[in-house]
Amino acid sequence: MRRIWIAMLPATLALTLAACGNTASTAPDATTEPGTAAPAADTPAPDLAALSGVKLSDSTARSRVRNAGIGVTSSGGCTDRYTSTCTSLEQVNSGTIDGIVTLRNASGCSITITGGTEVGHASGTYSHWNGYKLDISKNSCIASYITNSFTRIANRGDGAPQYKSAAGNIYADEYWANHWDILYY
């Protein structure tokens, strides 16, 4: 498996350079796995930022949500990932940002992110800290959209009602904290 991945590097690099306006040969070279060919010259470079596991900087993530009309607020007025009263988007998954932008576009509702990747949330693989979750403030528009568009599933262990989208994302109504806790896989 490792040889195949390494063999793909020259072709992927060539495509990435071509997409950036640089030129590089896409012809097979000595590192290409026998029996494989390099991608055609007109093959588009992969959109690396669209890959769900790509980690974003706080500024890049904020720019993407701002451009989509999504607000970000912090009770502490800060963005430090290591302060629980801040709202940080540092190291958020690109797919998580894609998911919240999709929610905004599909629902047409006002969305404000109130929790991101900062400390103070529950731990786990699919956690805020690991870039899979966002909290958004509640409003009647988004509540109506989530409850009418997604499938109601079993309550979370802490009693939060949950809804699952067709894409598999989970929307938990943390009614005691007045926000939606959203898990983007």
Tens digits of per-residue pLDDT, 13-29? 333 333 334 333 333 33
- Which among 120, 103, 106 has a CA at the least distance from the CA of 182? 103
Is residue 131 domain-shared with residue 113, that is, in the same domain? yes
Among 178, 159, 167, smallest CA distance to 99 is for 167
Residue 53 is predicted with a pLDDT of 79
34 plus 92 within the same structural domain: no
Q: Are residues 57 and 37 in the same domain?
A: no
Average pLDDT, the chain: 81
* Rounded distance between C-alpha atoms, residue 128 and residue 136, angstroms: 12
The residue with greater pLDDT, 28 or 48, is: 48
Q: Does residue 48 surpass a pLDDT of 80?
A: no
**Residue bearing the bigger pLDDT, 119 or 44:** 119
The DSSP bridge pattern shows strands 55-56 and 92-93 to be antiparallel
Q: Is residue 82 part of a domain?
A: yes
Q: How many domains does one find in the chain?
A: 2
Q: What is the domain range of residue 14?
A: 2-42
Tokens standing for residue 147? 């409850």
Looking at per-residue confidence, does 97 or 40 come out higher? Answer: 97
Pairing of strands 133-137, 112-115: antiparallel
Averaged over 116-133, what is the pLDDT? Answer: 96
Which residue, chain included where needed, has tokens 């958004």? 136
Q: What is the mean pLDDT of residues 69-80?
A: 96
Determine the pLDDT at residue 85: 96
Assigned domain for 129 exists: yes
Statement to judge: residues 17 and 59 lie in one domain = no
pTM over 0.85: no
Residues 31 and 105 grouped into a single domain:
no
Q: Tell me: do 111 and 133 sit in the same domain.
A: yes
12 vs 155: CA distance, rounded Å: 44
Judge if 106 and 138 occupy the same domain.
yes
Report yes or no on 47 lying in a domain. no
Same domain, 104 and 71: yes
69 belongs to a structural domain: yes
**What is the pLDDT at residue 99?**
98
Do residues 72 and 37 both lie within one domain?
no
Higher local confidence (pLDDT), 19 or 107: 107
Asked whether residue 79 falls in the same domain as residue 147, the answer is yes
Task: Answer whether residue 159 is part of any domain.
Answer: yes
- How many helices (H) does the chain have, and how many strands (E)? 4, 9
Band (pLDDT 50/70/90 cuts) for residue 51 is low
- CA dist 131 and 51 (Å) reads 13
